[in-house]
Structure 1
Amino acid sequence: MRIFHLLSAIALLGGVATSPLSASEPIKHRFLCCDYASGKVSIVNTEGVEEWRIEAKNPQDCWMLPNGNILFAHRTGAKEVTLGKEVVWEYTAPEGVEVHSAQPLPDGNVLVVECGTKRLVEVDRSGKIAREVPLVSGPKVGTHGQFRGARKLANGNYVVTYMTDRKVAEVDPSGKVVREQTVPGYPHEIVPIRGGNWLVTCGDGHQVVEMNAKGDIVWNLHENDLPDNPLRLMAGLQRLPNGNLLLCNYLGHGHIGKNPHLYEVTTDKQLVWSYADHGLFKTINQVHVLDAAVLAKPWEVER
């Protein structure tokens, strides 16, 4: 069942509702997404139809690159593929390691965070490690629970989500922590935004928070702030140019088939769009919006 929802009256089945602001301009999104449980990376058009997909084991991060190729992280590494599904770049992590994040960088390298080896690596176009940054997680944290999202900053540092440790941190290229903040849940994504604040999805904490440099929560979205649309495990996140947040509502842990996969929420906590197709997807955990008005170089996108 496919559902699009604009907050004008009620959700419509199998179609697009009219916008509360303009009946002639309903919100529609074309997007790239990961489905962790179904094991695929997909492109979905503005009518909610899957137009492209590739199989991947437990994909967790995905990007459309300026050349039109798709970069994604999967359980044991990362790949760049053409829309013809030709692999043009690949990194395979050491045995026993889990990979849950990959970010394309302006110099052509790809940032990968590894659970198990506890490190960030920048991998060059030949698939070799160009830089390694050590990370420290709690001594009793198992491989699967160590890290999720990680991003490189313009200043050369990195931000990392320490999932089981319930914290997010900025580290320099030597691995030294220069900023660290605890969060109300198990963080899955951290998005640095203009002004130095961080947007963090808090996993099974069922909320999204914006934190300033002092660690104060200056904005949050709680589990039941969207009437009849509860926040489940909050995973991926993209901040759109208009300030709205596109949120991945991961439906694992007992919620498959029960709620929308994606929510678009305004800063005053109004739901203006949602997406669900439970026949097509089980657990969308990351999204990259491909709208013409949103497309930019990946390292310029707030996600």
Structure 2
Amino acid sequence: MTARRTAPLVAAAALLLAACTGPAAGSAKPPPAPTTVRPASPTSVATAAPAPTAGAPGSAFPAVAAGHPPGELAPGSNPAVLPGPVVIADRDNNRLVVVSPHGQVLWQWPQPGDLAPGQTFQVPDDVFVTPDGKDVVATEEDVFAITEIDVATRKIVWRYGTPGHHGSGPDQLWNPDDAIMLPDRSVVAADIKNCRLVDLSAASTSPLWTLGTVGRCHHAPPTRFGSPNGVFPLPDGNFLVTEINGDWVDEIDRHGHVLWATHPPAVAYPSDAHQYKPGQYVIADYSDPGQALIFDASGKTIWRWNPSSAPGRLTHPSLAIGLPNGDIMLNDDSNHRVIVIDPNTNTIVWQYGHTGQPGSRTGYLNHPDGLDPLPPFSLADTVGVTAPPTPGRW
């Protein structure tokens, strides 16, 4: 989700970063002063009543097609808290995985034969479903590419960026993040180390529009952005932008007009702010220990999750989003899990992945770095599930 990797950068990277004002683009900042806001109750996986059998009449989650093996969730997980399956960017396993609320793996990509000769798919750090639900768009941040995959054919249908080669010219990106297809089928993304926002199209090798200035990496929107690592569409057509340098979240329109800008309170490394509900926003703090919090446009804290010990302690979480029922779903990257938190009871109510244990077998993840709940159409049909309507999100 952010420019946050430990692999050495090429020498050219150092030259560009040195030119930036403020902290180095994508670099971690010193931790904030300790916060006294804590969950109101002990954090643990909630003990819930057994969910209805998959596919039973009145189920709040999708039926799983025949042939899918039993799922694997953390004990006490309640599948009913999810509106349907979720697609996960399983970064260090170099794969995308669709998981049902019961923990069944419904779809994985790539499999043998999915990639054409010469194609690669490496370290996906984000994945989002397209508006028509037929494709997914994945960001390969550390190889400087954005890739669109047709779910039915399992083939790459579009790619922007030259894998393995960064830059700011035509068909070039430098650590792109959070690529999301808009209704007009253009793809908006944060181009972190180029310190710009881009809107891309399959019809052009150059962005349709850009905001920000390459090599000017500090907060002065819309002409400059402090290493932006997220740009998410809002219901009114505006965008929510997260800037690493200086700890900023901004609302801007498509022309770059800034409606407001604020500091998410007591956050060391802001990552991927989303709208939680009108006037409220949820963000992850990519730190150890990490945090998830809800705040408003004035920077006031509404809710915070930041336990300092297991099982609730987060380790480099990079994305938190609100679910239709008000729960918070997030990927806890370095704990190798995806979890759902109930902010009313301050408990973990669903978990896929084994805390602190990376792996590739069913029930395991290895640095999951992105997620998106599936809409109640398209992908759900393609991978063999039937999802109920999901009021409030799609």
> Under TM normalisation by the shorter chain, which class is it?
0.7 to 0.9
Secondary structure of residue in 2 paired with 1:116: helix
Offset of residue 70 of structure 1: 1.5
Match among 330, 347, 352 for residue 247 of structure 1? 330
Residue correspondence of structure 1 range 267-286 to structure 2 within 5 A? 267-268=343-344, 269-277=346-354, 278-280=358-360, 281-286=365-370
In the alignment, what sits opposite 1:56? 121
Secondary structure of residue in 1 paired with 2:148: strand
Q: Deviations over 1:86-115 (max 9, x none)?
A: 122222278331111201111111101112
What is the one-letter code of the residue matched to 2:157?
V
Q: 1:288 to 1:209 in 2, by over 3 A?
A: same
Question: 1:52 & 1:85 partners in 2: Cα distance?
Answer: 10
Structure with higher RCO (Cα < 8 A, 6+ apart):
2
Offset of residue 230 of structure 1: 1.1
Question: 2:286 & 2:261 partners in 1: Cα distance?
Answer: 18
8 Å CA contact 2:294–2:302 kept in 1: the answer is yes
Question: 2:261 & 2:80 partners in 1: Cα distance?
Answer: 40
Secondary structure of residue in 2 paired with 1:215: coil
8 Å CA contact 2:77–2:351 kept in 1: the answer is no
Q: Is residue 7 of structure 1 aligned with residue 62 of structure 2?
A: no
What is the one-letter code of the residue matched to 1:231?
L
Q: TM-score, normalised by structure 2?
A: 0.62
Residue correspondence of structure 1 range 136-147 to structure 2 within 5 A? 137-138=217-218, 146-147=227-228
Offset of residue 40 of structure 1: 2.4
Match among 329, 334, 338 for residue 262 of structure 1? 338
Question: 1:108 & 1:172 partners in 2: Cα distance?
Answer: 18
Offset of residue 120 of structure 1: 1.2
Q: Is residue 158 of structure 1 aligned with residue 239 of structure 2?
A: yes
In the alignment, what sits opposite 2:135? 69
8 Å CA contact 2:324–2:390 kept in 1: the answer is no
* Structure with the larger strand share: 1
8 Å CA contact 1:89–1:127 kept in 2: the answer is no
Q: 1:39 to 1:197 in 2, by over 3 A?
A: same
Q: Is residue 33 of structure 1 aligned with residue 88 of structure 2?
A: yes
The structure number with the bigger radius of gyration is 2
Offset of residue 132 of structure 1: 1.7
Offset of residue 26 of structure 1: 5.5
* Structure with the larger helix share: 2
Q: Deviations over 1:232-281 (max 9, x none)?
A: 11212221110111111010xxxxxxx45111111221211111153222
Question: 1:78 & 1:121 partners in 2: Cα distance?
Answer: 12
8 Å CA contact 2:330–2:338 kept in 1: the answer is yes
Q: 1:80 to 1:287 in 2, by over 3 A?
A: same
8 Å CA contact 1:43–1:53 kept in 2: the answer is no
In the alignment, what sits opposite 2:200? 123
Q: Is residue 90 of structure 1 aligned with residue 146 of structure 2?
A: no
